[in-house]
Structure 1
């Protein structure tokens, strides 16, 4: 069972999440070129050309229309596109969702951007949407992503072996994490303290 979530703008600490749209094509191309992110086998970053980025956005919007996704463009205070993220696997029967398809231009990685985005997305999921559980999944090969998720305080649930395929067709083990609603208040305090501390 799925319920279409209403697109919304979320912002804090100079980071803005706005509904992903075809107007973001050029910005996403520019962002993906910062660090040649599309060449990474284990990321969801589209190739840096108009056709592939348009197809990436259209697929995300199709998921939004079906009620299984809510995609965002990530921008800074000046309006520069930093990357993209989304809610996906939205299931209103529990209710649960996952946060993923997340990537940022290389120049803002390991900055406050990811922490801010996760704080905004988790806060909206638990406090506005009433989610019971939020999941985060990543490739076994993406050690940086695993470390970032673990720094958030998510619980490592396990590994789904040979679960999907990477861009090159190789098999991917999916490392699964979760945060439940009763854990959110304490985790929120930690994230807020980290962001205040800079």
Structure 2
């Protein structure tokens, strides 16, 4: 597998487009919808830090490829997501740095984004495995990852700093290539039920 190049993906009225400085104002607006930076267990930037957040995402290439999540018809930015910890030698990527404005949560948005990213990872990039990670106290994220069909690999103890200076345990999940057909069928089923 080669490191993924910037690409635009589209499905169900959503567009994932390469994140850039032009998304900063819209991303700031998305973060304000629910004051998401106040959540202890996420990495959503405070409004004044959005430009630095975008710049940091771009500086992490080729180990990270960040996307703006855009409502295709209106052009409204709903949030962001990324491929990260990209390891071409292992045919591995992770999906993370994902957050959506409050009004887009508990809708088809996350399922659609994951279907797009997983399909691209397995069917275009040729990944052998796609990983996910989350804070041990982010129970909503763990449930969402499990609904995708990912399997829990384990917990990395005392693994990463939170914004408040405490140290989190990180819960690791993955989907391997052989599981992708069933995961894909399940994601399509979930989206069909929402339609």
TM-score class, shorter-chain normalisation, is: over 0.9
Question: Equivalent residue of 1:177, what SS?
Answer: strand
Q: Distance in 2 between matches of 1:96 and 1:174?
A: 18
TM-score by length of 1: 0.95
Whether 1:74 aligns to 2:73 is no
TM-score by length of 2: 0.97
Equivalences, count: 193
Which stretches of structure 1, 4 residues or more, deviate above 6 A after TM superposition?
A: none
Partner residue in 1 for 2:58: 61
Whether 1:161 aligns to 2:160 is no
Q: Distance in 2 between matches of 1:6 and 1:137?
A: 22
Partner residue in 1 for 2:27: 28
Deviation of the 1:3 alpha carbon: 4.7
The within-5 A match list for 1:15-164 is 15-49=14-48, 52-64=49-61, 67-77=62-72, 78-164=74-160
Unpaired stretches in structure 1, ≥5 consecutive residues: none
Q: Distance in 2 between matches of 1:39 and 1:3?
A: 37
Q: Distance in 2 between matches of 1:37 and 1:166?
A: 14
Q: Distance in 2 between matches of 1:96 and 1:4?
A: 10
Whether 1:182 aligns to 2:178 is yes
Unpaired stretches in structure 2, ≥5 consecutive residues: none
CA RMSD for the aligned pairs? 1.0
